[in-house]
Every structure is written in structure tokens, then in C-alpha cells.
Amino acid sequence: MSNRLQAIFQKKLVPVTFERTIGLFGATTIGVGALMGAGVYVLIGLAAGVAGPSVWISYIVCGGLAFLTTLLFADMARLVPISGGGYAYAYRSLGRIGGFTTGWFLALGSVFACGLYAIGFAEYFASILGYKLPGYGVKLVAGALVVLSAFLNSKGTEGADRIQNLLTWGNLGILAVLLVGAAFFLKPGLAVPVFPLGPEGTFGAIGIIYISFFGYQLIANSADEIRNPAVTVPRAMKLSMGIAFLFYLLVAVASIMVVPWQQLSQSSAPLVDVATAVFGSFGWVLISTGGILASAGALNSTVLSQGRQIYAMGKDRFVPALLGKVHEGAKTPRAAILAGGGLILVALLLFDLAFIAKAANFCLLVSLLPVSLALRRIYREQPEKRPGNFARRYLPELTLLVNLGLLGTLDWLSLVFGLQLALIGGLVFYFYSRKRVERQETGMHLALEEEEPAFKFKSGERILMPVANPETQRSIFDLCNAVLAQKGGEIVPLHIVNTPEQMDFRTALSNSEQSLSLLGRMEDWQTSPRVNIRPVVRASHKLGMGIVHAAEEERCDLIVMGYAGKQASAAAANLMELVLNRASVNCIFLKIKQRGEAFRPKRIAVSLGGRLNLNLMVRLAGAIAAQYKGEITFLNILPTAYSPAQQAESGKIFIEAIQRHSARALYSIQVLASDDPIDTLVEKSADYDLLVVGTTKVGLLQQMVVGNFATQITERAQCSVAVVRVLPIGRKLVKGV
């Protein structure tokens, strides 16, 4: 066994994981930071314009509705204490579609929310400096903050935590100073009449301020870095929501009792008006500073949590696998964080503030719906986990109805844009994520290369070579090398670890010494200068699907594998059938006549038939002949009473074969007349070392199929046989999808 392969195998088998460095205070800081964004500095005025003095009631009702969803997430965090938040909860309980829907909208909602926070920061930053920035200037400052936040969070949580603490609690400190000062200027008369715009205005304001209560669920995205997550995450969610709710309510009460609600509704910076009434000109500086801290804190907290959620989707292969890796040095999902930062920059570039806010509202609300269904399924399938408390027993149904109702309050532009995002998400899932997730769920794939580049561009042809029989391994390897010798490429030796259904893949791989033994044999085998070797081991519940999925995972163009013929067991025959039926690449099956001997065919015959397999058959024969300095005979068998049309067609096939023959090897042509082409070809096979035949039949290796040309030749030939199957382009595209 190769020590080098063993070291690589062990390193990749044990994944790089997060360090659990975040306690209750840090987790609560993430939630409070995401909740207490710039919304409180702006939305109070818009809400007052709809609800009047009863806006504080709007905050109570809205906070109560949001707290239901907080309890929902807290219960899910207790039952499923893993990183990924709502996405992970839905995926575990509802499967691929539920998980993708939640992850897709939660990721996009976080992107748009971060754009909102970044623009808020830029506006307040310009205000405190006394500048009026143009639109592009605001977005430039916002983009710079996004880049800085993504960079700091990608470097590690320790430094980012200190910054987050400063931003979050500094913002609350400023709001606390405002509330203390406002207590001396309260005018209760401004709060009456309570419902000048009617009760409907009070409830209408809920749709405006509800976005302020998002953020607590982002704590669950960092569950893998939180100590004792089953206990800490639910507590942190409830604490952060309680703190945010208290401050929102007090700010709302103070605002309408210090400044008339009509004035608040007309102001673009309502808290500036409140602070100015309390502190004079100093109030403007105070609130602008608070707005900067709130926006930066919410952005930083959301970027941190968003990266973890994208990481969880990458780990499950809904998005590129690169995004599901933990950086070995920083112990952070660096690629996921930077990718999220890039998406935020795109949103800033393409959309204005109003549109970003509406898109964030829709996406975040939709992302909550599958989580309610996920908890409902858990309660239904595991009734022992259902709480005894009546209200909590029906929490999934309550939150589903509440969030559906809130979704219905959005304007038509938000709904239309949301449907477009849903359509794009559906296309991404069907054409990109679906098959990758299936491969992830049905197997575990380890490429035994020391360092894989972040972006590996395919260069040259790639041949998947399943390895199982040591007696034929070298012969098949040499054949693959010969095929790639002229143009270069990569041989991907693959060993499948057959895994029982009840065993997890990592355990199956850890107990497999045979894989490394077989793959390690090839390290010293010589290849052509332009041919590389990339050993792969994959655990799979089904051998055939393991081969098919490995070919897709490695983006191979060809599968070359051995075939035992009649000596094969029923399981081996079924394996071949499954590969032929399901693989979306071309296949070559090699039956070696004399096992254990050096396979050096010099006399090669190609049985010409249809045109579909012709190019690969000629290429294979030419590659082997050039490698071993052999000769090729192109054979064609006509009936004894052949017609002129049959003779002409035979001539065209010969011409095409000769035109496709580009290898440096001698060739000859031979036409045989026989009414029993199988017997004739079997008899002629005694003159050759290798016979190359083609097939278009999927069931060519089914031993019960009597009379099939390729099957009969493979079983009866007196030399080794290579069966070539080329998949038509149309079927290849369909299978690829």
C-alpha cells in the first residue's frame, strides 16, 4: 500500500471542521446585531404614517407574531442542532425540494437584506460627515463596507466577534441614551387619540415593520461554531428577540410622545427629529452614529450567518462543492462568505433601495414557510417530541398561517419579482442541483490528490477506469493509457466500496484497505508524458450507480472496464447492465481471453457495422496498434447474395473507417461473404489478439438475450474482445440532465 495515498486518504476522510468558540453571549450578539439594523431608524416614521399614535400597538402585535416564529426556530434548533438554520431543518425533514426552497430564498433574502444595511450605512456615514453623496457614491461606500465585512469574517470568527460586539452593543447603547433622554420630554397628549386612522391602520403598519424582526434565525446558521448548540441556540434566539422587541417598543412609545406622529410620518430620518427634540444639535450626531453602528452591525452579522448557510448548501451540493468547504487555517467557510459578499455587490449594482427592501421581505417570508412544515412533520412522525403545551403543539400550523398572511400583504411588484426568483430557483434545482445532490446522498467521493485547485478546468479527455480485479487491472490501465497517449488526458482509476444501507459512507471508507491497495499499485506504472492519474475511491450503496455517479462527478468522457463473460455472477452482469443503462458517457467493455498474462495485442480486427460507434472503434484499434506496433484489419461481412447497394454501403463504411484512422499503424481491409456472420467472425477471431465490436443495444451483456450479436461474439470469440458503446448525442444530453 502506498504511504502517500494512505496519508491523503486519511486527511480527506477526516474533514476540516469549525471550532466551537461562540457562547451564549456571542450567539445572542449575532441575533441582536441582525435584528437591530437601520430599520428602527427609518421604518418608525413610515409606520407612524399608517398607524398614527397606535404604532406602538403595531410593534406589540408584530413582535408577538414574530415571536411565534422565533419559538418555531428555537424548537427546530433544539431538535436539529446543526449549522445551516432553516435550510438544514427543512432539508432534514422535507427532503431536497423543501431544503432547496428554504435555502434559496433565505440566501437571496440575506443578500438583499445586506444590500439594505449597506446602503443605510452609506447614507448615515455621509450624513455625519456633512456630505450629500450622489447615487453611485452611496453604492460605492456601501460596496466598500460589504468587501470589508466579507474579508474580516472570512479571516476567522475571533476578530469578527470583537467588531460585532462593538457594533451591536454600541448601537443599543446609543438607543438607550436616546430613551433615557426622551423620558424627560414625554408628552402623553401626543399619543391620543390612539386610533386616528382606524384600527386597520394599526394592523396595516405590521407589513411595514415586520422586516425589522428578521435576524434571530441567523443564529442557527452558525450552530457548528456554537458551544452546546442544542441548548445555546434556542436560548440565544429568544434572548435576541426579547431584547430587540423591548427596544423597538420603547423607541416607538418615546417617538410618538416626543414628536407628533404627523411630523414623524413626513420625516426621512424620524429618530433624528426625536433626538434633536431631546438633545438639540447633538442629537443629530448621536443618531447618525447609531445608524452607522446599526447598519454595519446588521450587515456584519448577516454576512457571517449567510456564509454559514451557503456553506451548508455547498456541503450538500445544492451549490458548487467549493462553497461547502471549511478553510483549514481560518476554520471558516471562506469561499461561501466571499461568494455571498459577491452576490451582495451584484444586488447593490443592479437594484435601488426600495426594490431591495421589497425583495428582502418576500424572500425572507417565503423561507419561513417550509420550516413550519418541517416541524409539523417531525411532530407527526415522532409524537414523543411534540410538546405538551397546547399553544406549542400547534406552533407549526400557527406560524404557517401567520407568515402566509403576511406574504399576502406585500404589493404586486414584490410578488411578481418573487415568482421570478422562484422560477429561476426551480431551473437551478432541476438542471444543476438535483443530480449533484443525488450523488451526494447515495455515495461519498474522495479524490486522492494532495491539493486540488479551487477551480479545476477540464483539459483533455478523462477516462474512468473502475478497478476491482487485480488480474485484469494492468491490461485495462494500459488500454486507457494507449487511448489517451496521442492527445493527452487523465485516467481516473476508481474503486467502489460497497456500503450496506444501514452503514454511513464515512465508516465504510474508513474500513476499506482494499481500495488503497488496488489504487496504490498503479502509482509506479508508466504512462505517456501527457497522461495523468487521478485515483478516486467512492462509497456507494449500489456498485453500478457508484460507477455512474463517479463518471458524472469526475466529468469523464469514457468508461473503460473489464467484463468476465459467462464466468461473471448475476450481480456482475447486473452491474454492467446498470452502467450501460444509466451512464451518460461512452463505454468500452474489455473481455480478456488470457488472464494473468501481459496484454499486448498486435493483431487487431475491427468488425465494421453501423456508423454510430465507428469513430471510437477505429480510434481504440489505432491507439492499441500504435502503442504495441501492431496491425489493424478492418472487417466487413456481406451476405453471400449481396446486392450492389449492400456492396456500395460496405465500401462507404471502409472509406469512412480509413478516413478516421489517424494512428501510426498499418491497416488492411477484408470483406467476407457469409450468411452466418457470427460463426464467421468467431472463426476469424482465432487469427487475432483483439476483436473490436460495437453495439447500440443497451442490454448487450444480458446473458439471457440469445442471438444478440455483441453478446454472442463476446462469449464465443477465440481472442480478447472490446465491446464499444457510443451514446447518441440526444440520449447523452437527456441522461446528462
* CATH code assigned at 365: 1.20.1740.10
Indicate whether 146 and 213 sit together in one domain. yes
Q: Has residue 588 been placed in a domain?
A: yes
Indicate whether 292 and 365 sit together in one domain. yes
Task: Give per-residue pLDDT as tens, 34-61.
Answer: 888 766 777 788 888 888 899 899 999 9
Q: Has residue 67 been placed in a domain?
A: yes
Say whether pLDDT at 589 is over 80. Answer: yes
Q: Has residue 201 been placed in a domain?
A: yes
Query: Do residues 575 and 540 lie in contact, with contact meaning Cβ atoms separated by under 8 Å?
Result: no
Q: Name the grid cell of 667.
A: 491497416
Indicate whether 73 and 120 sit together in one domain. yes
Task: Give per-residue pLDDT as tens, 320-365.
Answer: 888 888 877 777 888 999 999 999 999 998 887 777 877 887 888 8
Helix axis angle for 229-258 and 55-79, nearest 10°, is 180
d(CA 340, CA 112): 11
Indicate whether 119 and 35 sit together in one domain. yes
Write the burial class of residue 330 (CB in 10 Å: 0-12 exposed, 13-18 middle, 19+ buried): middle
Indicate whether 702 and 582 sit together in one domain. yes
Indicate whether 556 and 617 sit together in one domain. no
Indicate whether 604 and 640 sit together in one domain. yes
Query: Do residues 720 and 690 lie in contact, with contact meaning Cβ atoms separated by under 8 Å?
Result: yes
Q: Has residue 34 been placed in a domain?
A: yes
Say which residue, 144 or 406, is predicted with more confidence: 144
Say whether pLDDT at 586 is over 60. Answer: yes
Task: Give per-residue pLDDT as tens, 694-709.
Answer: 876 544 444 433 336 7
Q: Which residues contact 274 (CB under 8 A, 6 or more apart)?
A: 178, 182, 254, 255, 258, 259, 264, 283, 287
Indicate whether 63 and 195 sit together in one domain. yes
Q: Name the grid cell of 545.
A: 450507480
Out of 294-298, 495-499, 660-664, the most confident range is 495-499
Has this prediction a pTM greater than 0.75? Answer: yes
Count the domains in the chain.
3
Query: Do residues 280 and 289 lie in contact, with contact meaning Cβ atoms separated by under 8 Å?
Result: no
Q: Has residue 164 been placed in a domain?
A: yes
**517, 540, 562 — which closes off a domain?**
562
Task: Give me the chain's average pLDDT, please.
Answer: 84
Buried b or exposed e, range 362-395, using 16+ CB within 10 angstroms: bbbbbbbbbbbbbbbbbbeeeeeebeeeeebeeb
Residue range of the domain that includes 484: 438-450+458-562
Indicate whether 163 and 134 sit together in one domain. yes
Q: Has residue 312 been placed in a domain?
A: yes
Backbone angles phi, psi at 254, to 5 degrees: -65, -40
Query: Do residues 31 and 215 lie in contact, with contact meaning Cβ atoms separated by under 8 Å?
Result: yes
Task: Give per-residue pLDDT as tens, 89-130.
Answer: 889 889 999 999 999 998 898 888 888 888 878 877 877 777
CATH of the domain at 503: 3.40.50.620
Q: Has residue 419 been placed in a domain?
A: no
Q: Name the grid cell of 665.
A: 499503424
Show the DSSP H helices in 351-469 as ranges: 353-381, 390-393, 395-407, 412-428, 434-442
Show the DSSP H helices in 554-687 as ranges: 570-582, 614-628, 644-660, 677-684
Average pLDDT over residues 611-625: 91
Indicate whether 347 and 207 sit together in one domain. yes
Question: Which residues are 559's β-sheet partners?
Answer: 464, 587
Indicate whether 572 and 669 sit together in one domain. yes
Confidence at residue 571, expressed as pLDDT on a 0 to 100 scale: 65
d(CA 138, CA 134): 6
Indicate whether 208 and 267 sit together in one domain. yes
Confidence at residue 572, expressed as pLDDT on a 0 to 100 scale: 65
pLDDT band at 595 (very low <50, low <70, confident <90, very high): low
CB pairs under 8 A, 24+ apart, for 94-101? Answer: 94/370, 94/373, 94/374, 94/377, 96/429, 96/433, 96/434, 96/437, 97/429, 98/370, 98/373, 98/374, 99/316, 99/318, 99/370, 100/313, 100/318, 100/425, 100/429, 100/433, 101/366, 101/367, 101/370, 101/425
Say whether pLDDT at 736 is over 70. Answer: no
Say whether pLDDT at 282 is over 50. Answer: yes
Q: What is the dihedral sign for C-alpha 597, 601, 603, 609?
A: positive
Q: Has residue 706 been placed in a domain?
A: yes
